Chain A
Amino acid sequence: MAMTGVLRPGFIQLRVLDMASSLQHYIDRIGLSKVGEGKDGRVYLKARDEFDHHSVVLRQADQAGLDAFAFKVESDDCLTSYEKRVIASGAPVDHVPAGEQPGLGRRIGFQIPSGHRIELYAHADLAVGGPSVLNPDVWETEPHGMEARRFDHGLLYGPNILEVEKFFCDVLDFKVTERVDLPETGTLAIWLTCSTKAHDIAFVNHPEPGKFHHVAFELENWNDIGRAADIITRYNISIDIGPTRHGITRGQTIYFFDPSGNRCETYCGGTTYYPDQPVRVWDDKELGKGIFYYERALNDRFLTVLT
């Protein structure tokens, strides 16, 4: 399979209540690096095994939550083509000029039926001091904190989940890998991929638009998840649940909160997706196992606590 069109989650822009403690969380604890700071105060971060300029943007604000979730597409022609398709689907598109974020080319932005802002862009400068390419070592500088390798995926909460599904599949060429369909209330959640990952973005149906559930960072393996748990306890980071495993995606995980209450995940493993595979479906009989495979029960906090 050639991977075309939308390539991967490119960056996420989050609102934080206090920049200093947020930088300590994302840099010292999760293991990201600071790339730079804009004149408007936004701070740009990247994970250690990412080639592109940045993947996380923090903006200080008086409310926590998500500003935008952006995907990188394979070329500028491709970006133009997606713009036409988004407009044809009925969503107004706005344009963000190159350089509005350092290192990034032009972006297009639009609102999806769940109330979230999605952006697409084709160009990112290569990071200075990013992973080497000639006889590359596993890392150039030894990793720190939880040693996150990359920004992996996000989970967003909002209404109109079937419209969101249709938009991502018909307009942006994503595939649904797994879903939760409840007999009485219909689709509760969908996991969507634009790659061979178990998910690149996921949605839960929820009455209030534009809500943020979590941003996930990929770790190498289950041992690293255990070490991340040590860091979470050592520094009194607010824990949600884990270490545990998901039935859905089969990823191994911990959920915890940043100093503004935005939920973070450290994630590893997970299934590999190919577009000829059937969709895995979960119903109300085994939903607990689907979400938390070891606990076999959902906790209230996971379903209701959002920013």
Chain B
Amino acid sequence: MTISETGQPVAADARPSLSDGASLIGSSQSHQIAVPGLAQSVKCHPGASVLDAFEHARQPLTSGDAALVQVGCRRGGCGVCKVRVIEGSYRATPMSRAHISEDDQAEGLVLACCVYPETDLTVSSVPQSPKNQKNN
């Protein structure tokens, strides 16, 4: 019987590994995520994704009656947590190209679960259009 070659234990389920072998995705500092329309920014802890920050915010983050960002698989596959990064820099883990094309990504359209801030970020929600719903 063969056990994984990847070695264990590790501190947490590894997110898709980065080619440079960084052990902590994103920076080692916490950052603030500002969302136009929200009175307060959201704290993103070191090693957390934008979706982690939204999901674990002390107050539920809403846009109208709906959640600001829907929480799906949290791992870049399902496409429901689409957001637009307006300002700031970040590192991204692999996102399913069924939902985020290379052009999308170049324009800042990303999946919140795959975005790890390296600076404070400004992020806007991307409402689920019928097309997005279809792509869920």
Question: How many contacts A-B (CB < 8 Å)?
Answer: 124
Contact residue among A23, A27, A65, A238 (Cβ-Cβ distance under 8 Å from B74): A238
**Chain B residues within an 8 Å CB radius of A259:** 13-16, 75
Determine if B16 and A17 form an interchain contact, defined as CB atoms under 8 angstroms apart: yes
Say whether chain B's binding surface is mostly helix, strand, loop, or mixed.
loop
A23 to B8, CA, bound (A): 12
Q: Does A269 contact B (CB under 8 A)?
A: no
Determine if B72 and A63 form an interchain contact, defined as CB atoms under 8 angstroms apart: no
Determine if B73 and A263 form an interchain contact, defined as CB atoms under 8 angstroms apart: yes
- Residues of chain A at interface, number, CB under 8 A: 40
Task: Tell me, rounded to whole Å, the shortest Cβ–Cβ distance linking A33 to chain B.
Answer: 5
Contact residue among B1, B13, B77, B134 (Cβ-Cβ distance under 8 Å from A307): B77
Determine if A235 and B78 form an interchain contact, defined as CB atoms under 8 angstroms apart: no
Q: Does B29 contact A (CB under 8 A)?
A: no
Contact residue among A18, A29, A34, A235 (Cβ-Cβ distance under 8 Å from B17): A18
Determine if B3 and A257 form an interchain contact, defined as CB atoms under 8 angstroms apart: no
Determine if A17 and B1 form an interchain contact, defined as CB atoms under 8 angstroms apart: no
- Chain A, range 203-240, C-beta contacts under 8 Å to B: 207-208, 235-238
A301 to B93, CA, bound (A): 22
Q: Does A187 contact B (CB under 8 A)?
A: no
A98 to B100, CA, bound (A): 36
Determine if A17 and B17 form an interchain contact, defined as CB atoms under 8 angstroms apart: no
- Chain A, range 251-307, C-beta contacts under 8 Å to B: 257-263, 300-301, 304-307
**Chain A residues within an 8 Å CB radius of B97:** 62-63
Determine if B76 and A17 form an interchain contact, defined as CB atoms under 8 angstroms apart: yes
Q: Does B62 contact A (CB under 8 A)?
A: no
Determine if A305 and B98 form an interchain contact, defined as CB atoms under 8 angstroms apart: no
Task: Tell me, rounded to whole Å, the shortest Cβ–Cβ distance linking A210 to chain B.
Answer: 11
- Chain A, range 35-87, C-beta contacts under 8 Å to B: 48, 62-65
Determine if A24 and B6 form an interchain contact, defined as CB atoms under 8 angstroms apart: yes
Q: Name which residue of chain B comes closest to A20, CB basis.
A: B17
Determine if A236 and B12 form an interchain contact, defined as CB atoms under 8 angstroms apart: yes
Q: Name which residue of chain B comes closest to A301, CB basis.
A: B72
Q: Does A21 contact B (CB under 8 A)?
A: yes
- Chain B, range 1-35, C-beta contacts under 8 Å to A: 1-6, 8, 10, 12-17
On B, residues with C-beta under 8 Å from A are 1-6, 8, 10, 12-17, 70-78, 80, 93-98, 133-136
On A, residues with C-beta under 8 Å from B are 17-18, 20-21, 23-25, 27-29, 33-34, 48, 62-65, 129, 140-141, 144, 207-208, 235-238, 257-263, 300-301, 304-307
| Extra 8 A-B pairs, beta carbons < 8 Å, given A28-B4, A258-B75 | A21-B17, A129-B1, A236-B13, A259-B75, A261-B78, A301-B72, A304-B80, A307-B96
Some 21 contacts from A to B, beta carbons below 8 A apart, are: A20-B17, A21-B14, A21-B17, A24-B8, A24-B13, A24-B14, A28-B3, A28-B4, A28-B8, A62-B96, A62-B97, A64-B77, A64-B96, A141-B1, A259-B14, A259-B16, A259-B75, A260-B77, A260-B94, A261-B77, A263-B73
